[in-house]
Amino acid sequence: MSDIAIKVEDLSKQYRLGVVGTGTLAHDLNRWWHRVRGNEDPYLKIGETNDRATKGSSEYVWALKDINFEVKQGEVLGIVGKNGAGKSTLLKLLSRVTSPTTGTIKAKGRIASLLEVGTGFHEELTGRENVFLNGAIMGMTKAEVRAKFDEIVAFSGTERYIDTPVKRYSSGMRVRLAFAVAAHLDPEILIVDEVLAVGDAEFQKKAIGKMQEVAKGGERTVLFVSHNMASMLNLCDNGLFMKDGQIYEQSTIKNIVDLYLKDNESLFSTSCLKDRIDRKGNQLVTYTEVKFLDENYTPVTTLLNGHKVIIELSFMRKKTLETLKKVHFSIGVNDSMDNRILLLSTDLTQQTFSSLPPEVNKVYIEVPKLQLREGAYSFTLNMRVMGETVDWVPNAGSFNVVNGDFFCTGASLPEGQGYFLVDHSFTIH
């Protein structure tokens, strides 16, 4: 039992929704009155699970509810879940930014978090002074920072500017320096929240390398939160899948990622494109439906690779009788790891429609031979009129590709041997 680094028991966190205002005082007094008489807090009994989409009847909501888990010493635990599943709340509780409503967290060793880098940087202070200040905020002593100072500066690559006030730094340099300080913390338990996407490509590589070094070192316990499944698989041993403030599953990272992706899929296919509100653009024209058709123009739900696919995009004008000028369409396809792998665009085919009369409200994209390997894909839609974005919907939907005998040989691409199928043949001359 002694090798457990973090033990979380019945952890819950309740939040009150809506505006904190006049009602607060009344509730506070009521709460206090109950406590004086030795009763339980009346507001702890109510509250619902945290499902963002449905409107609940109660003002109180459980961002986390009865969480129990343990993390072993040296384990790298990946935490996945949709936005609002409670990941950030959990990390906040672990890093002691706020206190739990009920339950306890027990830990062995210092906890440091990389929730946000560069906290407490002061514009007027020099890089050197900020390194010390930031280090101290994160819990290092002056002597510890001094011992690592050269390493930190070298890692950040800002030697030349180290005695210049931070306000003269470019934003990239600032982030580099901040990350460098954070990365050289030496806590027994480290909490990392998607901070890897900082700086330019070169620095990102360095940062990920450093994280790997930390994670694979085996000594340190790391809790890692990210939406990037590829880096999850790469860095973590085990995973925790959170859903609506509760732990849905705890297992090996491979299982968790699979589960998470499957869960996401159902999300894509059930959400109706027309009603999506998380879209960008001026919305003068909006996408309403996406259909996949086979070569006979009959709608299909699963696509066969090696076969002809037609994508039908339906859209709707705000002003029904408008003739659209210079219309551009594009659809970007992501794989299950959320890597963009394909772009179908009128920019590429040089087919921007100079004019679309009011009666046209569908456009078809023809793919003569689908070259994707089997698997689940999601897509993002984009439309521009006269050069201006009118509609952009991320993760607008998903589709599945199954083996359609691409090579007409009955053979299929082995797992892990590539993402695309390309026609080819071998000859000798």
Partner 1 sequence: MKEKEEDWTLVIKPKSSLFDLELKEVWRYRDLLLLFVRRDFVTFYKQTVLGPTWFFLQPVLTTIIFTFVFGRVANLSTDGIPHVVFYLSGIVLWNYFAECINKTSNIFISNANIFGKVYFPRLIMPLSVVVSNMMKFGVQFLLFIGVWIFYMVQGADIQPNAYALLFPFLLFLMAGIGLGLGMIISSMTTKYRDLTFLITFGVQLAMYASPVIYPLSTLEGKLRWVILANPMSAIIETFRYGFFGEGTFHWAYLGYSTLFCFIVMYFGTLIFNRVQRTFMDTV
Residue ranges in contact with partner 1 by CB under 8 A: 1-2, 4, 7, 15-16, 20, 24-25, 28, 92-111, 113, 115-116, 119-120, 122, 124-125, 129, 132-133, 136-139, 141-142, 165
The residue (of 165 and 332) whose beta carbon lies closer to partner 1 is 165
Q: How far is the CB of 387 from partner 1 (least distance, A)?
A: 38
Give the CB-side neighbour count of residue 370, counting CA atoms within 13 A. Answer: 28
Q: Which helix (H) or strand (E) holds 215?
A: helix 201-216
d(CA 141, CA 129) in angstroms, rounded, equals 14
Instruction: Give least dist CB 136 to partner 1, A.
Output: 4
Helical pair 142-156 and 127-137, crossing angle rounded to 10 deg: 120
Shortest approach of partner 1 to residue 59 CB, angstroms? 14
Query: Which residue number, 165 or 394, has a Cβ lying nearer to partner 1?
Result: 165
Residues in the chain: 429
The smaller minimum CB distance to partner 1, of residues 120 and 368, is found at 120
Q: In the complex, what is the shortest distance from the CB of residue 14 to partner 1, in angstroms, rounded to a whole number?
A: 9
Residue number, 100 or 397, with CB nearest to partner 1: 100
- E-assigned strand segments in 108-231: 111-114, 189-193, 221-225
CB 337, CB 327: distance < 8 Å: no
- Count the alpha carbons within 13 Å of 394 in the hemisphere toward its beta carbon: 5
Task: Copy the structure tokens of residue 15.
Answer: 């939040």
| CB proximity list for 312: less than 8 A, separation 6 or greater | 289, 290, 291, 292, 293, 362, 363, 364
For residue 309, give both structure tokens. 């696919």
DSSP per-residue letters across 355-411? EE-TT--EEEEEESS--BPSEEEEEEEEEEETTEEEEEEEEEEEEEEE---TTSSS-
SS3 286: strand
Kind and range of the H or E run holding 127: helix 127-137
For residue 223, CA distances in Å to 10, 109, 207, 252 come to 19, 14, 16, 14
CB of 20 to partner 1, least distance (A): 6
- Nearest distance from residue 225's CB to partner 1, in Å? 14
Name the percent of the chain in helix, strand, coil, to the closest 5.
30, 35, 40
Q: Which residues face 388 on adjacent strands? A: 385
Q: How far is the CB of 106 from partner 1 (least distance, A)?
A: 4
Task: Report the residue number, 107 or 367, with the smaller CB distance to partner 1.
Answer: 107
Q: Chain centroid to CA 11: how far?
A: 24
Residue 44 vs 360, nearer CB to partner 1: 44
Q: What ranges in 245-386 are assigned the alpha helix state H?
A: 253-270, 346-349
Cβ 70 to partner 1 shortest distance, Å: 12
Residue number, 72 or 274, with CB nearest to partner 1: 72
Nearer to partner 1, 226 or 336 (CB): 226
Q: Which is nearer to partner 1, 133 or 342 (CB)?
A: 133
Kindly tell me which of 167 and 369 has the beta carbon lying closer to partner 1: 167
- The distance of closest approach from Cβ of residue 372 to partner 1 in the complex, given in angstroms and rounded to an integer, is 41
Q: How far is the CB of 410 from partner 1 (least distance, A)?
A: 57
Report helix, strand or coil for 292. strand
